Amino acid sequence: MKGRVVSDHKGGTNVLVEGGVEHLAVISGKLRRQIKLGEAEKPVVGDVVELEPQKGDRAIIHAVLPRQTVVRRKAAGGEHETQVILANVDAVFVTMALNEDFNVRRLERYLSMVWDGGATPIVLLTKADLAPDAEEKVVRAKSVCPRERILVTSHASGAGLSALDEALEAGKTYALLGSSGVGKSTLVNRWLGQSAQAVKTIKDDGKGRHTTTHRELFLLPNGALVVDTPGMRELGLSDVEGGVSEAFNDVDNIAKGCRFSDCGHANEPDCAVQAALAAGALSDERYRSYTKLQRELQARAAGQSHESRAARKRRHRNAPRP
Ligand SMILES: Nc1nc2c(ncn2[C@@H]2O[C@H](COP(=O)(O)OP(=O)(O)OP(=O)(O)O)[C@@H](O)[C@H]2O)c(=O)[nH]1
Ligand SMILES: [Mg+2]
């Protein structure tokens, strides 16, 4: 039987199967060993798993099916390691409040991160009622979103909420990502309507500091699925190489005009990026964050090859002797 992972916690993994029945599942011994050896993935929220029902609502997970998309972030403690936090999400609402939370550089990072895993980012700017300069911020957000859709909402006034609701398609899976307190769970509660008690762990204390503590997938009355996530404290640059060029599609397109395909966009002759900067077709700010992310990626790649050398050494050391 196949099921979808809806939450993962100390007590086990909750898996939803056809007909809306939820099982409390544990990972089989064999799969556990494969995960340890790096031969299989550990199930995360959104994963489709092969499930064997047991007595009552119990079940055993035997396999994690291939993922269509992932959301990856920097692993806690590991400078260059990444961790898959969500699987099979079609679109991610990159949620940012228009108050002091608003930061276009962070927005760019989120977009790179989402594109990298294969999901489509949708920019969701919340708390418009709290920002007298909301319009100006939306213009700044647009300047870093050459291809992403932007939605602006206020839960307090109701503005933009129906457009947001219409963005949710039945059968598709969405996730809300963003800092703590931007209003992610407030939206999930709104979408759940009468079933709001399903998110009763959420305290509406007005401060919104890390209220949600685990990732959880909810089936909405309109047939869409949405994952509520805890606010992210920091946004590490994970494996976003592909994502950076997607998120910086505008700069990438300009760079196609450079004479050299490996142009560093600094002092090279006939650099289209430098020409665009000089002509004002590309902003200095945007150029700087593009090169900063590229530099970080290069540093990370260098760190990884270093790491794999260390891993190789370990393997040699542990290899059985003839
Ligand atoms: N003024 C205003 N307040 C809002 C809006 N949306 C949410 N809030 C409030 O912001 C606070 C935090 O909302 P939450 O939904 O808990 O935020 P969250 O993103 O889930 O936070 P974490 O679970 O900590 O990641 C709550 O008090 C909400 O009532 C809005 O559009 N305008
Ligand atoms: Mg929350």
Contacts of 100 (CB under 8 A, 6+ apart): none
CATH of span 248-318: 1.10.40.50
Q: Is 252 left (phi over 0), alpha (psi -120 to 50) or beta?
A: alpha
Task: Give residue 193's pLDDT.
Answer: 84
Q: Which ligand is nearest to the CA of 199?
A: 2
Judge whether 25 and 61 are in contact, CB under 8 Å: yes
- Of 41 and 194, more confident: 41
pLDDT above 70 (res 280)? yes
The pLDDT tens digits of the residues spanning 207-265 come to 446 778 889 999 999 999 999 998 887 665 544 556 787 888 899 899 999 999 888 89
Place of tokens 């009355």: 221
User: What architecture is the 2-64 domain classified under in CATH?
Assistant: Beta Barrel (2.40)
Q: How far is the CA of 50 from the centre of ligand 1 (A)?
A: 36
Judge whether 12 and 23 are in contact, CB under 8 Å: no
Percent of the chain with pLDDT over 70: 83
Amino acid at 129: D
Grouping H, G, I as helix, E, B as strand and the rest as coil, residue 94 is: strand
Q: Is the CB of 189 under 6 A from ligand 1?
A: no
Task: Give residue 236's pLDDT.
Answer: 58
Task: Give residue 318's pLDDT.
Answer: 47
Q: What does the alpha-carbon distance between residue 88 and residue 33 come to, in Å, rounded to a whole number?
A: 24
Q: How far is the CA of 177 from the centre of ligand 2 (A)?
A: 10
The pLDDT tens digits of the residues spanning 70-127 come to 999 877 666 567 789 999 999 999 999 999 899 998 999 999 999 999 999 999 999 9
- Of 113 and 316, more confident: 113
Q: Is the CB of 230 under 6 A from ligand 1?
A: yes
Q: Is the CB of 229 under 6 A from ligand 1?
A: no
Q: Is the CB of 182 under 6 A from ligand 1?
A: yes
Judge whether 307 and 80 are in contact, CB under 8 Å: yes
Place of tokens 């011994």: 29
Strand positions, DSSP E, the chain: 2-9, 12-17, 21-27, 48-53, 58-64, 70-74, 82-87, 91-97, 120-126, 149-152, 173-178, 216-219, 225-228
Q: Is the CB of 211 under 6 A from ligand 1?
A: yes
CATH of span 70-228: 3.40.50.300
Q: Which ligand is nearest to the CA of 182?
A: 1
Q: What does the alpha-carbon distance between residue 237 and residue 317 come to, in Å, rounded to a whole number?
A: 31
Domain layout of the chain by residue ranges: 2-64, 70-228, 248-318
Q: How far is the CA of 233 from the centre of ligand 2 (A)?
A: 13
Testing ligand 1's pocket by substitution, the residue of 92, 151, 164, 182 carrying the most ligand atoms inside 8 A of its CB is 182
Q: What does the alpha-carbon distance between residue 134 and residue 146 come to, in Å, rounded to a whole number?
A: 19
DSSP code of residue 1: -
Nearest CA to ligand 1 atom 16: 208
